[in-house]
C-alpha cells in the first residue's frame, strides 16, 4: 500500500490532490504561495514544477496551473508538486525581472539565505521546502513583459556527466526547439543540480502575452516530460527534434536610454554582425551591439526603454 506524501507541511493521501494558498512571511513581508500537491495512486518519482519565479512570464504560469488542475492523481505514478506563482508579489505588481520588496532577481538568489533579504528568504523557502525534495525539477519561464523569445530550454552543465545526461534527456523529451547549456549560478535549476537533481528551465512566450498556442506548446512539453519520467502514460504529440547550443551569450546595455534592435528574435546571426544600438535620450548612438559569435537570437528586449546593465538580447551559439 502506497503511503501518504508530505511536502511544505501539506499531507496528501495516495490518489488525492490538495490545493492550498500558503501564507508566508519573508524578511517581514507577507506573501502568498499557491501550491498543488498530487500524490499519485501508483509508485514513482517526485517531480517538482515551479512557474512565475519571474512574475510576468504568463505562459509558464498558465501551463503550470493547467498541469496541476488537470492531472488525474488516480492515474499518476509518483508525486507531482506544482508552485504555479512562485513569486506572488512580482505577479501582483506585474514586475519585470525582480521581486518588488528588495528589487532582486529571484532567479539569481538560489539556493537562498534564511537570514537574507526578501528574495533570498523566498528562494530559501522554495529551495528548502520544495526543490530539495524533488527527484526531477522543471522551472517554467518565458520572455519577461519586455522580451520576445523563441522557445528553448536551459540545462546546467555541472561537470557531472551522468547528471548532465539526465537533464539533457529530460530537456529533449520536453521538446522545445533549442537546448542551451549554462554555467550561470544562483538560478533554480543550477541550485537543484548542485544536489544532483536533474533539472530543466523551459522558456516559452513573452511580452506579457499568453496565447493559447504557446500555452499548449508548454503543456505538451510538460506532458512529454511526465511520460519520459514514468509519472504518466498520457500521450502528447511527438517532440520535434531539438538543436543543441553550446553557449548563451548575454549582451547588456552599458547606458540608460533607448534600444534600437536591427535583428528579430529567432534570426540567425554571424559573429561581428550589427545587432542594434543603444542611444541616449536625444537619439545619439552610445553603444553598437555586435554579435559575439555565430548563432541564433534567443531573446530580444522589445521595449524602446533601456537601462544600464539590463539585458538587450542573447545569442545562442
Ligand atoms: Zn524568467
The pLDDT value given to residue 195: 97
Please tell me the distance between residue 55's alpha carbon and the centre of ligand 1 in angstroms. 8
Q: Per CATH, is 246-316 categorized as 1.20.140.10? A: no
Query: Quick check: 130 and 94 in contact, CB under 8 A?
Result: no
- pTM listed for this prediction: 0.97
Q: Where are the beta strands (DSSP E) in the chain?
A: 5-7, 10-12, 16-26, 29-39, 42-51, 77-83, 136-141, 147-149, 152-156, 178-182, 199-203, 243-245, 248-252, 257-261, 268-269, 274-279, 285-290, 295-301, 305-306, 311-316
Instruction: Take residue 14 and report the three cell numbers written for it.
Output: 495516495
Q: What is the pLDDT of residues 19-53, one digit of tens each?
A: 999 999 999 999 999 999 999 999 999 999 999 99
**Band of pLDDT at residue 287, cut at 50, 70 and 90:** very high
Q: What is the pLDDT of residues 110-153, one digit of tens each?
A: 999 999 999 999 999 999 999 999 999 999 999 999 999 999 99
DSSP of 35-51: EEEEE-SEEEEEEEEEE
Distance CA 220, CA 228 (A): 12
Distance CA 260, CA 303 (A): 9
The pLDDT value given to residue 189: 97
Please tell me the distance between residue 302's alpha carbon and the centre of ligand 1 in angstroms. 15
**Band of pLDDT at residue 205, cut at 50, 70 and 90:** very high
Q: Which residue has the higher pLDDT, 246 or 199?
A: 199
Please tell me the distance between residue 100's alpha carbon and the centre of ligand 1 in angstroms. 15
Range(s) of the chain covered by CATH 3.40.630.10: 5-244
Q: CA distances (Å), 164 to each of 136, 155, 180, 198, in order?
A: 12, 8, 12, 7
Please tell me the distance between residue 205's alpha carbon and the centre of ligand 1 in angstroms. 10
Please tell me the distance between residue 3's alpha carbon and the centre of ligand 1 in angstroms. 35
The pLDDT value given to residue 240: 86
Distance CA 85, CA 35 (A): 8
pLDDT at 236 over 90: no
Distance CA 88, CA 187 (A): 18
Average pLDDT of span 239-250: 91
Please tell me the distance between residue 21's alpha carbon and the centre of ligand 1 in angstroms. 22
Please tell me the distance between residue 202's alpha carbon and the centre of ligand 1 in angstroms. 9
Please tell me the distance between residue 186's alpha carbon and the centre of ligand 1 in angstroms. 13
Please tell me the distance between residue 310's alpha carbon and the centre of ligand 1 in angstroms. 14
3 closest CA partner among 21, 19, 16? 16
Which CATH number is 5-244 given?
Answer: 3.40.630.10
**Band of pLDDT at residue 213, cut at 50, 70 and 90:** very high
Q: Specify the range with the lowest mean pLDDT, choosing from 4-13, 185-194, 217-226, 235-244.
A: 235-244
Query: Quick check: 56 and 95 in contact, CB under 8 A?
Result: yes
Please tell me the distance between residue 42's alpha carbon and the centre of ligand 1 in angstroms. 33
Range(s) of the chain covered by CATH 2.40.50.100: 246-316
Please tell me the distance between residue 297's alpha carbon and the centre of ligand 1 in angstroms. 17
The percentage of the chain sitting over the pLDDT mark of 70, rounded to a whole number, equals 100
Please tell me the distance between residue 268's alpha carbon and the centre of ligand 1 in angstroms. 23
Mean pLDDT, the chain, as a whole number? 97
**Band of pLDDT at residue 61, cut at 50, 70 and 90:** very high
**Max avg pLDDT among 178-187, 207-216, 240-249:** 207-216
Please tell me the distance between residue 53's alpha carbon and the centre of ligand 1 in angstroms. 6
Please tell me the distance between residue 305's alpha carbon and the centre of ligand 1 in angstroms. 19
Radius of gyration of the chain, Cα coordinates, nearest whole angstrom: 19
Amino acid at each position: 500500500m502506497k503511503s501518504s506524501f508530505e511536502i511544505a507541511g501539506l499531507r496528501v493521501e495516495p490518489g488525492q490532490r490538495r490545493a492550498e494558498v500558503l501564507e508566508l512571511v519573508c524578511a517581514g513581508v507577507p506573501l502568498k504561495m499557491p501550491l498543488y500537491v498530487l500524490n499519485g495512486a501508483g509508485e514513482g518519482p517526485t517531480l517538482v514544477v515551479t512557474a512565475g519565479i519571474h512574475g510576468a512570464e504568463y505562459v509558464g504560469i498558465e501551463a503550470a496551473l493547467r498541469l496541476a488542475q488537470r492531472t488525474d492523481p488516480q492515474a499518476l505514478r509518483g508525486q507531482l508538486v506544482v508552485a504555479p506563482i512562485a513569486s506572488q508579489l512580482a505577479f501582483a505588481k506585474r514586475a519585470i525581472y525582480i521581486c518588488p520588496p528588495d528589487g532582486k532577481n529571484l532567479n539569481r538568489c538560489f539556493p537562498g539565505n534564511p537570514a537574507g533579504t526578501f528574495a533570498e528568504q523566498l528562494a530559501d523557502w522554495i529551495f528548502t521546502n520544495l526543490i530539495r525534495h524533488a527527484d526531477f525539477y522543471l522551472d517554467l519561464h518565458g520572455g519577461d513583459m519586455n522580451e520576445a523569445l523563441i522557445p528553448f530550454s536551459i540545462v546546467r552543465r555541472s561537470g557531472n556527466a551522468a547528471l548532465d545526461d539526465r537533464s539533457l534527456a529530460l530537456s529533449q523529451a520536453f521538446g522545445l526547439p533549442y537546448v542551451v547549456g549554462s554555467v550561470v549560478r544562483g538560478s533554480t535549476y543550477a541550485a537543484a543540480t548542485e544536489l544532483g537533481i536533474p533539472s530543466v528551465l523551459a522558456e516559452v512566450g513573452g511580452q506579457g502575452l499568453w496565447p493559447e498556442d504557446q500555452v499548449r506548446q508548454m503543456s505538451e512539453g510538460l506532458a512529454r516530460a511526465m511520460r519520459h519520467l514514468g509519472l504518466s502514460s498520457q500521450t502528447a504529440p511527438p517532440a520535434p527534434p531539438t538543436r543543441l547550443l553550446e553557449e548563451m551569450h548575454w549582451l547588456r546595455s552599458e547606458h540608460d536610454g533607448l534600444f534600437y534592435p536591427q535583428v528579430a528574435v529567432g534570426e540567425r546571426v554571424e559573429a561581428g554582425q550589427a545587432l542594434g544600438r543603444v542611444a541616449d535620450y536625444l537619439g545619439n548612438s552610445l553603444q553598437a551591439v555586435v554579435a559575439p559569435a555565430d548563432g541564433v537570437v534567443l531573446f530580444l528586449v522589445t521595449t524602446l526603454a533601456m537601462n544600464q546593465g539590463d539585458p538587450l538580447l542573447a545569442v545562442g551559439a
